[in-house]
Structure 1
Amino acid sequence: MAGGGLASPFKFTGAGGYPGVNGNCGATLAPSASCTIEVAFEPTLVGLQTDTIEIYYNNGSTTDQANRDIQGTGATPATLTFTPASTYDYGVQAIGSSTQFTFTVTNTGSISATSITDTGLSSANFQYAGGTYPGGGTCGTTLAGSGASCTIIVEYNPTTVGPHNDTISFSYFNGVSTVSTSLPVTGTGANPANIIITSGEPDPYDFQADFGILAFGATATHQLTIQNIGGVPATAFTLSGLSAPYNISATTCGDPLNAGASCTIDITYAPTSTGPHTDTLQINYNNGVSAQVFTEGVAGNAAAPAQLTISEVEPYDFGTVPLGAIVPHVFTIQNTGGVAATSLSGAGLTSSDFRYESTGSYPGSTGTCSGSLPAGSSCTVVVEFLPQSTGTKSDTLTINYDDGVGATSVSRGLTGTGANPALLSLSDGPSYDYGSIARNGYLDHIFTVSNLGGVDATSISPVAFSSTEFDFAGGSYPGLGGNCGSTLAAGASCDIVVRFSSSTNGVFSDTLQINYNDGVSAQSASRPIGGVVTDPALLTYTPNPQDYGTVARGSTSVATIQVDNTGGVSA
């Protein structure tokens, strides 16, 4: 017996010789006996292939052969591929999060892959969902050929910050031998998203946006800048929580807020009632691991708008002021409202007769007002009246300010009268002569002082006489019987009494001088005075004595006696 007829892809196993490696047929086969041959099909082409096994033998009389047709179909080995086909990157994920991805495994070969076994995912950061292959996917130990597919689900669970790498790997029998396939996976662990406030309040962890005190009817906007200081985007980002009188009037924030990114939120406070108002802004987001809520308290207090008042009655009267004089007056500005008045400035005073003290600028050189005035506080402005002509003058003091709602003002009318300065005149001009008086005698004279100006003369005081022969009667101003004082009203008059006396003869002179303030500056009025002191009157008789002689009773004797005044003054 001998075998033959086989051609590639068919052959006896082993080196190709009859009966094959594991065949036991030999050259002879006894009657009713059997033996085996081993034929291998080793296709190198895809498709149906045929051949014939031929056994040649001698049947005892002649040479004969036994044939057996054989066929087989060549197919491609099982080949497992992944989708996606190259390294899959889970991206940046938060520590503590779990991110799943479903991979598709496809057998692109013609025959089934068998004995599929997981041999990868050795790090703690990557694992099959649920912990074991195929992670809830559809893959098993066998996958049919010709494009059949299944799925595996792999989780990325970063435990530390930084990059992580691993490999999904299978071993399987492809119909020819045990082979493997793999797919690298990578991901980066980062800190979870973390929202903080970086501006709009002094402390990012203070959680309080304070509008302070706001005037009822006004609006104010407070801008918060928030930042994601985590390593992953804040997703599912929304704003909520505020209700009237608060609202979010504008924002640059969107969903998501990327790692390191910032955005702004404008919160508007528009109170419709007085008193404190509080609320809470909620910033809702997912930090990459779980839902989070960041809260920011908001507070405000609505009060009455600022209300400025100016002291004094309406209008304020500076009175009568002499031309050339400057009279200041301090006006008190008070804020009786509930919020600060801002943008204070002086206005009015358009005439040349009134001005802010010294500089002409608000609030006057010694005024204390500035650009703002807190609630319940007061300050001063100083206004001067400096009439440029006689007559009644008027103007208006105006203080402009913002009451917390808008621009407004408060005013006080001003009036005053310009008049000529005080002018004192002494009677008996241009000089007064006492005439002659007797030595050791005296003569008093009343001088009338008249104010011919339009305002009071003040600070009236005498100047001491330069000689002892003249003085105020009684020794002090205004003299006995005098009625002048230190002030003399406009158009009024008064008297002073000056005495002339001496113990020696002679001709004497002096000046009566009265100093005063005319309402502008120091002035004086004077009158030259003089007189003569002589011997007292002295009467003598001639003849002296007079002798009538002897005269009869009942008769009359007449004699003329001369009386002479030999003194210096009349007797």
Structure 2
Amino acid sequence: MRALYQKLFILVISLILISQFGWAQRSVPSMAPAITVSPTSFSYILPVGSGTVADVLSIGNAGTDDLLWNLQEGQPVLHLNNGRVLPVRLQQQGRVRGANWVAPPSSYLAEIPKGAEDTRVGPAVLEGLGGPDDFGYQFIDSDEPGGPAFVWQDITTSGTQVFLNDDDFIEVSLPFAFPFYGVEKNAVKISSNGYLTFGPDGEEALNLPIPVPAVPNDIICPFWDDLNPVLPNGRIHYYYDSTAPAFIVQYTNVKPFGGLGGTAQYTFQAVLKPDGEILFYYLDMRDILNRATVGIENAGGNDGLQIAFNTNYIHNNLAISISPGATWITADPISGTVTPGATQPVNLEIDISTLTPGLYEASLLVNSNDPAQPQVVIPVVLDVGPPDITVTPPSVDFGTVLVGSSGSATVTVGNQGAQDLSVSVTSLGGANPGSFAISSGAAPFIVPPGTTHDVVIDFIPLTPASFSASLSIESNDPDGSPVEVALSGIAVEPDIAVSPTTHNFGLMQLGNSASQSFTISNEGTGALNVSALDLTGSAAAEFSITSGAPGSIPPGGNMAVEVTFTPLTLGAKSAALEISSDDPDENPVVVPLSATVVPGNDPADIAVSPLSVDFGNVVPGSSAGATVTVANEGQQELFVYSSALGGANPSEFAIVSGAAPFSVLPGTSHEIALSFNPTLPAGFSASLVIQSNDPDENPVVVALNGTGFAPEIAVSPSGHDYGDVQLGSSASQSFTVSNEGTEMLDVTALDLTGSDAADFSVTTGAPGSIPPGGSLTVEVTFAPQSLGAKTAALEIASN
């Protein structure tokens, strides 16, 4: 039925307008107003808290008759960041709150005895949206497009139950500061009669129209009627949903006082949100629904938003949203008359002093008697607290970078605005964008207010030159997009050159040396870093770097390196000077070195080492070895034609290998291996006689010495008979181990062996060393374990 009323209302209005305009056209076709407006739209982008902005809408008349016009709002809305949409309203400048309040009939305020029938009838509700009141509150229900969804969150299990009597209330603390008619509320009274109040009276049973000064005031009425939760199954709960967040009060199966209404009972909720929005949800509303007040009222009772009073409006699964409108646009005047050819200014004021960040949209509807354009729609868009981009640094100079390497820099994008900064594009442009790259942090990305985001840029030159480019950052900053960051860098490249590129020292006599200087130059544009100077090759040991060291050479600079060749042996020699650097395409540089070594003028010069050999102590029958080295320190070849053993005891020694004849080139050597083979324990000596073509050291005699030694063990007594020993008794015998030799006697073990060794034991004495002439006492004890003859042996192991 309600939908039918709406359709009929719209139809009647439409017929009236058609009739009026048709009559005007037929009566005076030659005279008609023609509306003009300027501008045709308004758009503002303003930071939070920036106060007011004045503007002018000009309404003109290009027709031949007076233009009658008026302004009205056209479904203005506020888009919140959380996705919610709130209505706003057009308000005339200078309007005083409460000025449009009209007192209800006095009969509506008359006292009705408790339990008596309420015969008051309120106005019908024709639309599911309404307002604003003078503060700006408006409502919209779930039957309207864009209205709130019906979402029932039952709290009978999770919530706190309150136990109220008839005409009773309880005050509870709110979990957040709730704004209501411009005042933050921290506690609320829950009445048993279907309303919440921030005032002192929560017991009033008789529902009243809104607004009236009579108490209760400062109220939120989801369903104010004389209810009694004490009747069977009636319950009231409240609950704080911290995730929403929301404060919920739920009336469950509450009935009218005294059972009035027969089977009438009601289950509904009132929901308060921290941003000031109020929601009513109706789950199960039975029978009598036209005896309640639905709406809100301020503390003074002179402003309020009445949704329904004593009329059928509430139904199951209905949701109502009540929210304060944003009075951010005012106009003066809001109606007028414009004569033909004239214009009339309308002063607009955009006030964002109390607005939170968001996108606000409205339409100014200019209604007039222009038959061709009876209504002109003028869009108004207000973007409050837009994002405000900051970019640091404003330019990046990468300095000098080696070709083939890279340099890196960070550009920081910040947001000092009040809305999310959406960066949609980060691109490289300018003269040389290919020499730069965005390595991380590229768009798209979001920068929340008060935060930053890093974009990393790399400079990657491939050729030596100066390069420039720009980083372009495009965002939703209304006055700072795009931001251009200048990029520059210089690519440099060292270029090594070595002179001479090779060197042959020519014929070199043994015993001489020669030096050569090499120049390392940097013919490039960047510093050349010489990291190592090395000599390599088969004859590297005969070359040395006598001056110059690794280091940095600036462009156009050079470094001197001197290499000295000192031959050690005859023949062809080759080596190389290796120069390591950061030259990108010549690393390392190898400079070949060569020479041929020939004998010098000096004769052969024998050097023998050592000139005496002591073989030490050797057990007769064994041997010890030693090596004698014959070197040629001269410049001519050394010929050794004899190497013989002589002296006192040559037969105790032997030449094992390397015996003459042999030759030794300059700078080389030859080894003679000797051995000492003593046959007796005694001291021996001999000599190795080396004869050669050395003109002044011939022969060379190497003294040889060695000692044959042997310890001599003696044991006394050499055996022992313990005689008769009773079973259970024991007898001991001492043995003396003596060293009658010339060297240390090492006794390594004392063991008892034989079939009856278990009846004998060594009770004193242990393995050890006995010097010549010394002795060791060993005591053996016999302790028989059975009858009969017993035999065993003491075994003494030594060297």
Q: How does the TM-score come out when normalised to structure 2?
A: 0.32
Instruction: Compare relative contact order (CA 8 Å, sep 6+) and give the higher one, 1 or 2.
Output: 2
Q: How does the TM-score come out when normalised to structure 1?
A: 0.43
Per residue, is there more helix in 1 or in 2?
Answer: 2
